[in-house]
């Protein structure tokens, strides 16, 4: 069968290679994919945390779990542990967990039961309603060896080395028939109707039916099209810089965290990610509230080292997205299409969503942009929803610094979040609050943040019989959690076994 669609992807970071492999796998002989990338420009090289959807994507691409763990230096991620996002109480740092697992029992029982318990005596929300809190706290893996690829009793994602992941995806894409060209794109030639007629590059003049812009923040294609508009949410999400570095483990057998640790500071937060060979650490901050030297001092204090000895990489970003990521015969995927901030690791999950949508919305013949309006509406909605979810992490804080006070200012809340918060005073987040095809996070993700941050929902009073039943249920969850934390293997042991380095 002859190839029906020619797709040219420009950019060889995670977005470029993942989209290339995905389209080749999904569309098979119906598509000829070429990827052009410039080694001299290089990739951004950050993005070490993912979302559980990555398991389905890797499986779809035909990559097995052990190969992935080995090639990408990957470890298991069971959620995010937040520290210091509220002020300390009596000298104890505030901390809560956002696990990937849903609450133990189907809605609405357990959540309402927890809300009706006494605030003074009940366990923290994630600890009460899941067993994953105990498993992650004990630095245990989310599964037993031999449980099957990307499967297990607990929901998980991965931490990984971004550069090695892109290399693994590149190998897979080439095996699926993607043509790889090395060279820089220099120019874009537009047709009269504003679509792309051809591109000029070190590899010659290139043409395609569909051009996929995966050139990162440079947005080399979409950024040059008439009609492209960047939708900024800098008035809602204030962070716009990160300083990143790697820190070796103290000893080869140091336990590896199986959750991202997110520690708040005066003008942002720090990520701390346990990779196979080292910890990846980043200080995210808002330049309006903290300068680069101040951020370097925050990072050094966190690491317990001298700022002069650190040589962190500095990355600037602007929170927002392309209002129309698909214009005519050009679609932007990855950082060229948008980025909010590193919190909750939403970069790769947005790439997965975009690649899957392109694969299904691209018609096999005729004009390529028939699905563009739907793609743009769904992607914009997805960004809006993620922006609201990220803002939730900040706006409930009572921290006193001006970054945090301004974040709590109702004028900086996305309208949909303000409306939800009003409703969630009277009932917990429900699955009926959301349109599933444009969501990344579920209602229970919102519950973990709300109740981890101490938000009060009036769920009414429990009668004595219901309260006793709830007590028994919470005791069962606790006992399961203790058993799981005992029986599951240490996180490092499973990683080393899968990687063949044990
Ligand atoms: P890049 O990696 O920048 O790749 C761009 C590619 O385009 C490169 O190959 C480059 O050479 C090529 N290119 C550019 N211009 C040209 C040209 N003219 N000609 C030819 N080639 C060209 N995401 C997560 O999922 N989890 C996280 O924890 C996370 N943390 C992040 C932290 C920070 C500070 C930032 C900024 C981002 C983070 N992200 C995270 C997002 C994540 O890094 C990206 O979504 C992901 O790496 C994809 O990047 P990309 O492929 O779009 O761009």
User: In this predicted model, what pLDDT tens digit does every residue of 344-373 receive, in sequence order?
Assistant: 999 999 999 999 999 999 999 999 999 999
For residues 203-224, give the mean pLDDT. Answer: 98
For the CA of 17, the nearest atom of ligand 1:
51
Distance separating alpha carbons of residues 387 and 349, to the nearest angstrom: 14
Average pLDDT for the chain: 94
Find out whether 225 and 34 touch, Cβ atoms under 8 Å.
no
pLDDT digits (tens, 9 = 90+) for 74-95: 999 999 999 999 999 888 999 9
How remote is the CA of residue 333 from the centroid of ligand 1, in Å? 10
Does residue 406 surpass a pLDDT of 60? yes
CA 38-216-43 angle, to 5 degrees, is: 50
Q: Would you call 346 helix, strand, or coil by DSSP?
A: coil
What share of the chain has pLDDT > 70, as a percent?
Answer: 98
Residues in the chain: 502
- Whether residue 178 contacts residue 34, with contact meaning beta carbons closer than 8 Å, is answered with yes
> CA 225 to CA 220: how far, in whole Å?
9
210-213 and 5-10 strand pairing? parallel
Residues 6+ apart with CB under 8 A from 11: 35, 36, 37, 213, 214, 215, 216, 334, 336
Rounded to an integer, what distance in angstroms lies between the CA atom of residue 461 and that of residue 344? 34
ipTM confidence = 0.99
Hunting for tokens 């500095």 — which residue is that? 314
**Is the Cα torsion angle 84, 88, 93, 95 positive or negative in sign?**
negative
| Partners of 331 in the β-ladder | 212, 326
Known catalytic residue at 77: yes
Residue nearest ligand 1's atom 39 by CA? 47
Walk across the sheet containing 241-248 and list its strands. Answer: 95-99, 79-83, 260-265, 268-274, 278-285, 241-248, 313-316
Residue ID of nearest Cα to ligand 1 atom 46: 14
**The model's pTM:** 0.96
Q: How far apart are the C-alpha atoms of 137 and 491, rounded to whole Å?
A: 11
Ligand 1 pocket by C-beta < 6 Å: which residues?
A: 10-16, 36-38, 41-44, 46-50, 162, 184-185, 214-216, 218, 220, 242, 315, 317, 334-335, 342, 345, 347-348
Burial class of residue 30 (count of CB atoms within 10 Å of its CB; 0-12, 13-18, 19+): middle
Strand order from edge to edge, sheet including 196-201: 185-190, 196-201, 204-206
Axis-axis angle for helices 109-116, 464-487 (nearest 10): 110
B/e letters for 380-401, b = 16+ CB within 10 Å, e = fewer, are: bebbbbbbbbbbbbbbbbebee
Residue bearing the bigger pLDDT, 107 or 498: 498
Comparing CA positions, the residue from 298, 288, 262, 245 lying closest to residue 394 is: 262
pLDDT, mean of residues 26-47: 94
Q: How does pLDDT run across 164-211, given as a tens digit for each residue? A: 999 999 999 999 999 999 999 999 999 999 999 999 999 999 999 999
Q: 6 and 209 in contact (C-beta within 8 Å)?
A: yes
341: three-class secondary structure by DSSP: coil
How many of the other CB atoms lie within 10 Å of CB of 193?
8
Report the nearest atom of ligand 1 relative to the CA of 335: 52
Residue 141 has pLDDT above 60, yes or no: yes
Query: What ligand 1 atom has the least distance to the C-alpha of 11?
Result: 7
CB 290 within 8 A of CB 257: no
Q: Report pLDDT for 108.
A: 61
Assess contact for 159 and 142: CB atoms under 8 A: no
CA–CA distance, 140 with 492 (Å, rounded to integer):
8
Per-residue confidence band for 439, with pLDDT thresholds at 50, 70 and 90: confident
């Amino acid at each position: 069968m002859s190839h029906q669609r020619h797709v040219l992807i420009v950019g060889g970071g995670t977005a470029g290679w993942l989209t290339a492999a995905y389209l080749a796998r999904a569309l098979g002989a119906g598509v000829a994919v070429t990827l052009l990338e410039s080694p001299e420009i290089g990739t951004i090289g950050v993005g070490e945390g993912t979302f559980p959807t990555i398991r389905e994507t890797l499986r779809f691409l035909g990559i097995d779990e052990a190969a992935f763990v080995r090639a990408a230096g990957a470890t298991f991620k069971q959620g995010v542990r937040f520290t210091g996002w509220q002020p300390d109480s009596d000298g104890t740092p505030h901390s809560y967990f956002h696990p990937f697992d849903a609450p133990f029992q189907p809605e609405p029982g357990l959540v309402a039961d927890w809300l009706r318990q006494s605030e003074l005596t009940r366990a923290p929300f994630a600890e009460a309603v899941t067993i994953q809190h105990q498993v992650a706290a004990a630095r245990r893996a989310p599964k037993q060896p031999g449980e099957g690829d990307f499967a297990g009793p607990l929901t998980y994602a991965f931490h990984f080395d971004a550069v090695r992941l892109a290399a693994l995806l590149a190998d897979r894409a080439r095996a699926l028939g993607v043509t790889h060209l090395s060279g820089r794109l220099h120019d874009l030639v537009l047709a009269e109707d504003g679509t792309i007629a051809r591109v000029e590059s070190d590899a010659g003049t290139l043409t395609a039916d569909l051009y996929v812009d995966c050139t990162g923040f440079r947005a080399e294609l979409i950024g040059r099209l008439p009609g492209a508009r960047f939708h900024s949410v800098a008035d809602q999400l204030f962070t716009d810089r990160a300083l990143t570095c790697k820190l070796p483990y103290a000893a080869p057998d140091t336990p590896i965290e199986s959750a991202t640790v997110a520690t708040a500071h005066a003008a942002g937060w720090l990520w701390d990610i346990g990779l196979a060979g080292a910890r990846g650490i980043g200080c995210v901050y808002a330049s309006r509230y903290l300068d680069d030297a101040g951020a370097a001092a925050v990072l050094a204090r966190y690491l317990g080292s001298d700022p002069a000895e650190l040589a962190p990489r500095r990355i600037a970003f602007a929170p927002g997205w392309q209002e129309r990521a698909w214009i005519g015969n050009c679609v932007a995927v990855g950082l060229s299409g948008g980025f909010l901030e590193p919190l909750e690791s939403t970069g790769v999950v947005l790439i997965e969503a975009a690649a899957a949508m392109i694969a299904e919305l691209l018609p096999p013949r005729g004009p390529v942009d028939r699905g563009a309006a739907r793609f743009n509406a769904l992607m914009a909605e997805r960004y809006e929803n993620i922006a609201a979810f990220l803002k939730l992490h900040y706006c409930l804080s009572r921290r006193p610094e001006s970054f945090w006070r301004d974040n709590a200012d109702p004028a900086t809340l996305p309208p949909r979040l303000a409306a939800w918060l009003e409703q969630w005073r009277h009932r917990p987040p429900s699955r009926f609050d959301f349109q599933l095809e444009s969501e990344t996070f579920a209602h229970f993700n919102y519950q973990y943040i709300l109740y981890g941050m101490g938000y009060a929902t009036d769920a009414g009073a429990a009668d004595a019989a219901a309260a006793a039943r709830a007590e028994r249920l919470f005791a069962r969850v606790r006992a399961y959690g203790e058993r799981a934390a005992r029986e599951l293997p240490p996180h490092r042991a499973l990683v080393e076994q899968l990687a063949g380095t044990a």
